[in-house]
Amino acid sequence: MKNVLLTIFVVMALIFISGCMSFELEGDGLKTPKSAHGSETVHGSLYGFEWSSREIEKSSDNLGLLRVEYHTNILYILASTCSLGLYVPQTVEWWCQAPPLDDDDGPILKPSK
């Protein structure tokens, strides 16, 4: 009985530890209050297919991406595990580069590390 409880505790601890993953890609550029920002939940699979495809959107001011973050949480991990990898949700956030600064734009905001 003691070994079963220990095994259950270890498995639950591993699920909770892996449940809060965040991955960031960041480029050089300016991030100001005028920087465009967006967030979306992406539905995919571990086997290489997507449940929903989306159109590629371009920035309105023709500037590139500054930062991209992928997030997952414990519910996403449980959904992925229960479906054996057929359904894998992830949250994606992105920030575009800021347009060139005017003198009246205020301070430059640096991304946290």
pTM above 0.75, yes or no: no
Phi first, then psi: give them for residue 53, nearest 5 degrees.
-100, 150
Measured in residues, the chain has a length of 113
pLDDT at 95 over 80: yes
- State the Cα–Cα distance between residues 99 and 96, nearest whole angstrom: 9
What is the average pLDDT across 56-80? 78
What is the average pLDDT across 3-17? 81
Structure tokens at 96: 């575009």
What's the pLDDT score for residue 90?
Answer: 86
What's the pLDDT score for residue 25?
Answer: 76
What's the pLDDT score for residue 61?
Answer: 65
Residue whose C-alpha is closest to residue 37's, from 62, 61, 68: 68
